[in-house]
Amino acid sequence: MTRPETAESATMIIPRGTEIAVDAHGQLSIRTPGNLVLQNSGAFGTLESVHGSIRIEHGVEIEAATVRCAEACYVQGSLTAWKVIARALHLEDTARAHIVLQETERLDVGRGARLVGNFASEDELFVLFSRFAEQLRSLPVYSTRRRGRAAPGIDDGELVRAIADRADGQPGFDGEGEGDEAAAPQPPAIPEPLRFAQTLLERELHSPELNRTSRRVLEELVKLL
């Protein structure tokens, strides 16, 4: 005998062929053969629809390293992603999207939607950061905490240790004055956001999916930071 469903209970259907896993950083990754609809906020490693589309519904906030689908990615809520790969990206009027790298054939942005980022490749990102290196170094400190929690996939203690380790023994941005470090003026401390970005880029360098060109670009970005 099965217990009848109530109005408060929710049903989750996982199609055959769906893969759900946790990556090395503790982030959940979902790969499904058909359409994927997200009705609850969360942080993910990879979200992938092999043959269908991905939809983020109104009021839902999604953070993901990679969003990949064969058809379209529809955003009604909020999406923060390092990379989006899809045939089309649709941002409805209520959508908010922060996407660093976007690989799509078509982009539809609603009148009230907002899109930040939207680089076509790592090369574009590297060139822009190179042109504004001084401005990046002078960014004010911004807390990585949001709603009382750290950024997804980043452990507070681990991040603090990584920042502290990299802060020790750094002679400067350009390595000038190595022969007379005691007499040379000390450069200003690198802002916390750039330390955080540097840690994320170094993690990305260990990804097995990187090709030689992408790895070289990321290495140059880390050196620039």
182 confidence band (pLDDT: 50, 70, 90): very low
Give tens-digit pLDDT for 65-121: 999 999 999 999 999 998 999 999 999 998 999 998 889 999 999 888 988 887 777
Give dist(CA 57, CA 39) in Å, integer: 6
Q: Does residue 174 or residue 10 have the better pLDDT?
A: 10
Give tens-digit pLDDT for 116-150: 887 777 777 777 777 777 766 666 655 444 444 44
